[in-house]
Chains A and B, each alone.
Chain A
Amino acid sequence: MRRGSLVPAWALLAAALVASACIGAFAFTPAEVAHHLAVALGLAPATDADALAHNVFVSLRLPRVLMSALSGAALAMSGALLQGLFRNPIVEPGLAGTSAGAALGAAVVFVFGAGSHTALSFAAPLGVLAVPLMAFIGALAATALVYRLASSYGAVSVLTLLLAGIAVNALGAAGTGFLSYIARDPQARNITFWTLGTYTTASWTGVLLVAGAVLAGGGWARLHAKGLNALMLGETEAAALGEDPTRLARGVLLASALMVAVATAMTGVIAFVGLVVPHVVRWWRGADHARVIGASAVVGALMMVTMDIIARLVIPPAELPIGIITAVIGAPLFLVLLRRMTPAAMDAPHA
């Protein structure tokens, strides 16, 4: 079981991707999905009869399906990385401040950025990169701050981590709240909807950006699997094994902030994926990062594609914000994990 193959997860993901491509206000059969894919790839001739359906599929459905998969992979890998860095399985981007920081950074651009006519439209020259870039800066600053507060002399105190996370999250939420308060109506509503996560706005540009972040962050993590494993023993032990804990910590902060920021910039805040998925993966395949990272990506993608299907089915024709569903599943698990931790582990697992 611990060395379980990834094939079943890939098969389930493929099935979920097809199902997600079929389901929606504009329904497709799997055969139609195959046909539109073939046309889009130039493998089959386009017919005039299905021009509208083809357009809906290629411009709306396909990016949405891919975006849910990619953002799930990004959030799950980021959760796995942060848990390794903090040496605690209850950490995730929503707890460590990463998501709140990314949300604040993105909201700044929403309100003052390209679309607005204020004197502060500084982000205009950055174009499509403005939101992810500001989200990255926010995510990195918030996570680094929480990490700095929670760790001293190579030990991470879980209690300090949780409290620092609460404070940084509250600060981020206050900033985002303030921005949506001063924003004009359409922007304000966007921010509100977006803080709960949504895939309705998925675009091909967004898909490419998140794919890039997933490749960069996941690739870095895969290359540093050994170092990340050593870090699980503690910073002193990692250093004694010839690894550089400071550089590893910096890499984890950068990679996880990048993946969370770009995903959050495109889809809004989606909590608890980064908690649930690595946990399932470790139970399934063990804690070796060489296996955890890739499996987290596949299972994270599977989870979010499935969540997005549920979001479209619960209250048709409206859609449930995706963050609500992940919270309903993730929050109870978080409480179970918290309950299972021993008082000693809460205090300082690596004195």
Chain B
Amino acid sequence: MLELHDLTVRVGRATLLDRVTLTVESGAFTAILGPNGAGKSTLMRVAAGLLAPTTGRVTLDGATLAGQEARALARRRAILTQGVALSFPLTAAEVVMMGRYPHYERTPAARDVEIAREALATVGLAARAGQLVHTLSGGERQRVYVARVLAQLWPDGASGARWLLLDEPTTSLDLRAAHELMALVRTLPARGISVLMVVHDLTLATQSADRFVLMAGGRVVGTADHPSGVTPALVGSTFGVHAIRVDPPGGGAPLWQVGLGGP
């Protein structure tokens, strides 16, 4: 369980997070929704232990995040941001191996090499291991980065919950690549990896995630334990739009139609 207790983050005079209290259940795929400037990325960085909150605290499976040894923490929580851009010629295999860095000292063990290979196979890129990452397509590149965080959190016998934090990894992807990535992320809770993910696309989010957190103005304005809990009224007030939810007659994921004109 990832628990945020009364978190406030201030930078200068701006309040990025305003007394956020939130419990994220493990074993689920939780999506964070909200407009730009809602504090989603700040929340992710604080939850990952990469940014110390001004006040409040974060506990991961009962233990306070602050003061935890960085490498030990890195073995059970990983974060993928949207802005990774490599200026250097690294192969897919080399980037994925970085996910094993918290697990070995100087040279990777045979098992580390194996896990890196399996992680790359999991995202369907086994054949691309030796290819330079900057020569891959945008979708393939993002999958290499996902393979890196998978290698970092690979269960491999060790017990304990693992957490993956994803900050809008689908932003620069085309339709198919975005859906492929979501399909992959959806399989992670079953592998023992709990997912907390900032998602921009409402339809994609309600199709894929189990739980939902809606944020606006640095606060949590709503939560839902099921896609049906993401109501048009909640979406409308969170984003400042007029939202219509269309549930297909045969069941399945809802579609969203969004227009201006106030909630």
Counting CB contacts under 8 A, is B90 at the interface?
yes
Q: Which of A279-329 contact B (CB under 8 A)?
A: 282-283, 286-288
Which of A240, A241, A350 contacts B83 (CB under 8 A)? Answer: A350
| With known contacts A236-B79, A242-B73, A242-B101, A87–B87 Cβ distance under 8 A | yes
Q: Which of B60-88 contact A (CB under 8 A)?
A: 70-75, 77-79, 81, 83-88
Is the CB–CB distance between A226 and B50 below 8 Å? no
Is the CB–CB distance between B70 and A242 below 8 Å? yes
Is the CB–CB distance between A286 and B70 below 8 Å? no
Counting CB contacts under 8 A, is B56 at the interface?
no
CB 8 Å contact bits of A219-255 with B (1 = contact, 0 = none): 0000000100110111011011111100000000000
A229 CA / B78 CA spacing, docked (Å): 17
Q: Which of A1-28 contact B (CB under 8 A)?
A: 2
Minimum CB distance partner of A86 in chain B: B87
List residues of chain A with CB within 8 A of the CB of B106.
Answer: 226
Counting CB contacts under 8 A, is B6 at the interface?
no
List residues of chain B with CB within 8 A of the CB of A287.
Answer: 88-90, 94
Is the CB–CB distance between A88 and B87 below 8 Å? yes
Counting CB contacts under 8 A, is B206 at the interface?
no
Counting CB contacts under 8 A, is B223 at the interface?
no
List residues of chain B with CB within 8 A of the CB of A330.
Answer: none
Q: Which of B84-140 contact A (CB under 8 A)?
A: 84-91, 94-95, 98-99, 101-102, 106, 130
Which of B48, B83, B130 contacts A234 (CB under 8 A)? Answer: B83
Is the CB–CB distance between B83 and A351 below 8 Å? yes
| With known contacts A286-B94, A288-B90, A241–B152 Cβ distance under 8 A | yes
Minimum CB distance partner of B149 in chain A: A240
Listed in ascending order, the chain A residues whose CB lies under 8 Å from chain B are 2, 84, 87-89, 226, 229-230, 232-234, 236-237, 239-244, 282-283, 286-288, 345, 349-351
List residues of chain A with CB within 8 A of the CB of B99.
Answer: 241
Counting CB contacts under 8 A, is B45 at the interface?
yes
List residues of chain A with CB within 8 A of the CB of B90.
Answer: 229, 232, 286-288
List residues of chain A with CB within 8 A of the CB of B87.
Answer: 87-89, 232, 345, 349
Is the CB–CB distance between A240 and B89 below 8 Å? no
Report how many residues on chain B are interfacial, defined by Cβ distance under 8 Å. Answer: 31
Is the CB–CB distance between B70 and A244 below 8 Å? yes
22 contacts between A and B (CB under 8 A): A2-B91, A2-B130, A88-B87, A89-B87, A226-B101, A229-B90, A232-B86, A232-B87, A233-B98, A234-B83, A236-B81, A237-B84, A240-B77, A241-B74, A241-B152, A243-B70, A286-B90, A286-B91, A286-B94, A287-B88, A288-B90, A350-B83
Minimum CB distance partner of B70 in chain A: A242
Which of A89, A243, A283, A286 contacts B101 (CB under 8 A)? Answer: A243
Is the CB–CB distance between B102 and A237 below 8 Å? no
A87 CA / B71 CA spacing, docked (Å): 22
Q: Distance in Å from the Cβ of A149 to the closest Cβ of chain B?
A: 19
Q: Distance in Å from the Cβ of A79 to the closest Cβ of chain B?
A: 13
Is the CB–CB distance between A240 and B88 below 8 Å? no
* 13 more CB-based (< 8 A) A-B contacts, given A88-B87, A244-B70: A2-B130, A87-B87, A234-B81, A236-B81, A237-B79, A239-B70, A240-B74, A240-B79, A241-B102, A242-B75, A287-B90, A349-B87, A350-B85
Most A CB atoms within 10 A — which of B75, B81, B88, B98?
B88
Listed in ascending order, the chain B residues whose CB lies under 8 Å from chain A are 45, 48, 50, 70-75, 77-79, 81, 83-91, 94-95, 98-99, 101-102, 106, 130, 152
Which of A226, A232, A242 contacts B88 (CB under 8 A)? Answer: A232
Q: Distance in Å from the Cβ of A1 to the closest Cβ of chain B?
A: 11
Most B CB atoms within 10 A — which of A243, A244, A287?
A287
List residues of chain B with CB within 8 A of the CB of A232.
Answer: 86-88, 90
Q: Distance in Å from the Cβ of A105 to the closest Cβ of chain B?
A: 30
List residues of chain A with CB within 8 A of the CB of B48.
Answer: 240
Minimum CB distance partner of B78 in chain A: A240
List residues of chain A with CB within 8 A of the CB of B86.
Answer: 232-233
Minimum CB distance partner of A283 in chain B: B89
A350 CA / B50 CA spacing, docked (Å): 16
Is the CB–CB distance between B83 and A282 below 8 Å? no
Q: Distance in Å from the Cβ of A220 to the closest Cβ of chain B?
A: 14
List residues of chain B with CB within 8 A of the CB of A288.
Answer: 90, 94
Is the CB–CB distance between A239 and B50 below 8 Å? yes
List residues of chain B with CB within 8 A of the CB of A88.
Answer: 87
List residues of chain B with CB within 8 A of the CB of A349.
Answer: 85, 87
Is the CB–CB distance between B85 and A240 below 8 Å? no
A187 CA / B208 CA spacing, docked (Å): 73
A351 CA / B152 CA spacing, docked (Å): 23
Minimum CB distance partner of A288 in chain B: B94
Q: Distance in Å from the Cβ of A343 to the closest Cβ of chain B?
A: 13
* 8 interchain residue pairs of minimum CB distance: A242-B74, A242-B71, A287-B88, A242-B102, A242-B70, A240-B79, A351-B83, A287-B90
A345 CA / B81 CA spacing, docked (Å): 17
List residues of chain A with CB within 8 A of the CB of B77.
Answer: 240
A89 CA / B99 CA spacing, docked (Å): 23
List residues of chain B with CB within 8 A of the CB of A237.
Answer: 79, 81, 84
Q: Distance in Å from the Cβ of B5 to the closest Cβ of chain A?
A: 22
A84 CA / B45 CA spacing, docked (Å): 24
A234 CA / B95 CA spacing, docked (Å): 13
A88 CA / B130 CA spacing, docked (Å): 22
Q: Distance in Å from the Cβ of B179 to the closest Cβ of chain A?
A: 25
Most B CB atoms within 10 A — which of A89, A236, A283, A351?
A236
Minimum CB distance partner of A225 in chain B: B106
